[in-house]
Homo-oligomer: A and B are copies of this chain.
Amino acid sequence: MNYIARTEAKVVAVIGAGTIGASWSAWFLARGFRVNASDPSPEGEAFVRRFVANAWPQLVELEIATITLDEALARLVFTADIAEACKDADFVQENAPERIEIKQELLARIDEHLPEGRVIGSSTSGLKASDMQARMARPGRLVVAHPFNPPHLIPLVEIVGGRQTDEAACDWALGFYNDHGKRAIRVRKEVPGHIANRLQAALWREAAHLVSDGVASVSDVDAAITEGPGLRWAIMGPHLTFHLAGGDGGIRHFADHLGPAIKTWWDDLGAPVIDARLTDMLEEGVREEAGGRSTADLAAERDRKLIALLKTVKPGA
């Protein structure tokens, strides 16, 4: 299959315009695309337009936006009709609910109406492309293109193909996102949670274990990340961090000399159960950590710091 040149892509259909779809819409508009957004909800269009307007100052501050908000809103077309949204699209970002029957039927319809040579990216966090492509006439063009929330701010996109996916469709999607400043990565096997959510789950498992086992409070475990290794992880991933920890001998020296200590820690990691007792402990601990700050306050604080961090640490991203 031949796909259109990436630079020829001008129109993106965003199918499913809840929080993820609206955030994607903001990002595609910021990068200069026309966006055909589609959602069955009668509130869908108002929701997307409000989301884009709210996100715009962030997109301007991060220099992701290349046009004005008015120009962007003029390029946003909303339709409940999937066929209408797809018929002139050069790429589809699909964000439907995480149920396999819904995805299969929707992707078959998208495939039916989308012109040849166009790739479909699914934002799914939990389903496999191999399962979702079952009813498509042209399954080769479906890739998982999983963002990290919120997609308009966070650079990561995980690209995974299914059994019937063309290698060229994966390559096209990787290049397309990266052309526009995302950091798309290639996941070579379909595994539960792709990569980032698995890593996040691995970290949280031990964090929850330490609380469950009475080793430390929720807020102290959180601080052990944010005031310690978490400061590095916005800058360098775990492998490069340990490469530097190995000095001149790099990660080989690290593996040879600290491997045995790490093995000891690995063997002692916990496997907590998310039951009523642990949920109570977590809720009480988080309440203490929040110290009276509402969820809205905390989210605003996080977003403000996230923007500042992205400006500082990811210039040009």
Contacts and interface: CB of A to CB of B under 8 A. Distances in A.
Interface of A: 126, 148, 154-156, 158, 183, 185-189, 191-193, 195-208, 210-211, 213-218, 220-240, 242-244, 247-248, 250-252, 255-256, 259, 261-266, 268-269, 271, 274, 278-279, 282-283, 285-286, 289-290, 295, 298-299, 301-302, 305-306, 308-314, 317
Contacts of A204: 238-239, 242, 262
Contacts of A213: 189, 191
30 contacts: A148-B229, A183-B227, A188-B215, A189-B213, A193-B264, A193-B265, A201-B262, A204-B242, A208-B239, A218-B239, A222-B237, A222-B239, A223-B237, A225-B237, A227-B314, A232-B306, A234-B305, A234-B309, A235-B302, A235-B306, A240-B286, A240-B289, A243-B286, A250-B283, A251-B282, A252-B279, A255-B278, A255-B279, A255-B282, A309-B309
Contact of A207 (B126, B199, B214, B248): B199
Nearest to A213: B189
Copies in the complex: 2
A289 B239 contact: yes
Contacts of A298: 236, 240, 243-244
> Which of A195, A223, A226, A244 gathers most chain B CB within 10 Å?
A226
A247 to B, nearest CB: 7
Contacts of A248: 295
A312 B306 contact: no
Q: Which 7 A-B pairs have the closest CB atoms?
A: A222-B237, A230-B233, A156-B228, A202-B206, A185-B220, A183-B227, A201-B265
Contacts of A279: 251-252, 255-256
Given A199-B203, A199-B207, 19 more contacts: A156-B223, A158-B224, A188-B215, A191-B210, A193-B268, A195-B221, A199-B225, A205-B266, A221-B238, A226-B233, A234-B234, A235-B305, A235-B306, A243-B286, A243-B290, A244-B295, A252-B282, A262-B274, A308-B313
B266 A223 contact: no
Nearest to A261: B126
